[in-house]
Amino acid sequence: MAAYKLYWREGSGSLVVDVALVLCGASFERFRVDTRAGENRQAAFLALNPEGKIPALVLPNGQNMSETSAMLVLLDETFPTAGLLPPVGSAARADALRWLMLMATTGYSAALRSYRPERFGGEANEAARAAVVAAADAESTRMFAILAAAAKGPWLCGAAPTIVDVYAAMLADWHAPALALPAIKAIYDGVLAHPAIGPAWRRHEGGTA
């Protein structure tokens, strides 16, 4: 089978897709995109993802994908025995999809506003930037409180880890107050201790290849 192609950069949602590909045992190549140099705005990358966002994934059949959560669901469908998500039809799967979409639509968006307030009306002055960041951080805090209260233990959806736990750990790494919640800290520590996840985590969050 032809390899997947993952277009990634540090500190982005490409981390969780990288982990998913590793857990699936998929053959894939990594292509780092230097967003500071504007590579994500060049024609070659825009042909993969017209929004210019990271990550982008090229499937073995040559089809392009964007949106991290969509990639995760597709990989789960393609590699059903990898256990990225709980089994189809299970109550745990319903929970996993619920929290995955919450984190994708609320948590990731809040993190982006916190780190890049100038994109969301915070470019006028320092007070405007601070207001954007404060609102975003409050939204992240509320979301993590919901996840912590819903966590089945030891993982978000029960006894077995899923890719949703990796997503939660990634967002918690970007929002330090989340780690004060015991349920979230347990998930975070468990993800980092997982032998298949460590190298990808260091590549994306620690800056090492």
Q: How many domains does the chain have?
A: 2
Per-residue pLDDT tens over the stretch 169-191: 999 999 999 999 999 999 999 99
pLDDT at position 88 is 95
Indicate whether 109 and 143 sit together in one domain: yes
Residue pair 137/175 in contact (Cβ under 8 Å)? The answer is: yes
Structure tokens at 153: 């233990």
User: Is beta strand 56-58 parallel, antiparallel or unpaired with respect to 64-65?
Assistant: antiparallel
Note whether 100 and 177 are same-domain residues.
yes
One domain, residues 17 and 104: no
* Domain containing residue 77: CATH number: 3.40.30.10
The CA dihedral of 135, 138, 143, 144, to the nearest 10 degrees, is 150
Tens-digit pLDDT profile for residues 17-76: 999 999 999 999 999 999 999 999 999 999 999 999 999 999 999 999 999 999 999 999
Residue 139: CATH number of its domain:
1.20.1050.10
In a domain, 56, yes or no: yes
What strand order describes the sheet that includes 28-32? 28-32, 4-8, 56-58, 64-65
Residue 209 domain-assigned? no
- Among residues 65, 84, 103, the one where a domain terminates is 84
Q: What is the pLDDT of residues 117-170, one digit of tens each?
A: 887 775 668 888 888 999 999 999 999 999 999 999 999 999 999 999 999 999
Q: Could you tell me if residue 205 is inside a domain?
A: no
Q: Which residue is it, tokens 């929004």?
A: 51
For residue 178, tell me if it sits in a domain.
yes
Contact between 192 and 198 (Cβ < 8 Å): yes
Secondary structure (3-state) at 142: helix
Of the candidates 33, 68, 84, which is a domain's last residue? 84
- Does residue 182 fall inside a structural domain? yes
Question: 5 pairs with which residues across the strands?
Answer: 29, 58
Same-domain status, 122 and 161: yes
CA 173 to chain centre: 11
Q: How many residues does the structure list for the chain?
A: 209
Considering the domain architecture, whether residues 49 and 9 belong to the same structural domain is answered as yes
In a domain, 13, yes or no: yes
Domain boundary among 52, 84, 116: 84
Say yes or no: 117 and 158 in one domain.
Answer: yes
Q: Are residues 68 and 139 in the same domain?
A: no
**Which residues, including other chains, have CB under 8 Å from residue 59's CB and lie 6 or more apart?**
4, 65
For residue 208, pLDDT over 70 is answered with no
| pLDDT for residue 124 | 67
Task: Please tell me whether residues 103 and 149 are part of one structural domain.
Answer: yes
Whether residue 15 is contained in a domain is answered as yes
Instruction: Give one DSSP letter per residue of 48-70, joined into a string.
Output: T-TT--S-EEE-TTS-EE--HHH
How many other C-beta atoms lie within 10 A of the C-beta of residue 46?
13
Q: Quick one: 133 and 152 in the same domain?
A: yes
- 106 and 80: one domain? no
Q: Is residue 206 part of a domain?
A: no
Based on the domain organization, do 137 and 188 belong to the same domain?
yes
Which residues form the domain of 21? 4-84
Instruction: Say how far apart CA 162 and CA 156 lie, in whole Å.
Output: 8
Contacts of 1 (CB under 8 A, 6+ apart): 27, 60
pLDDT (0 to 100) of residue 107? 97
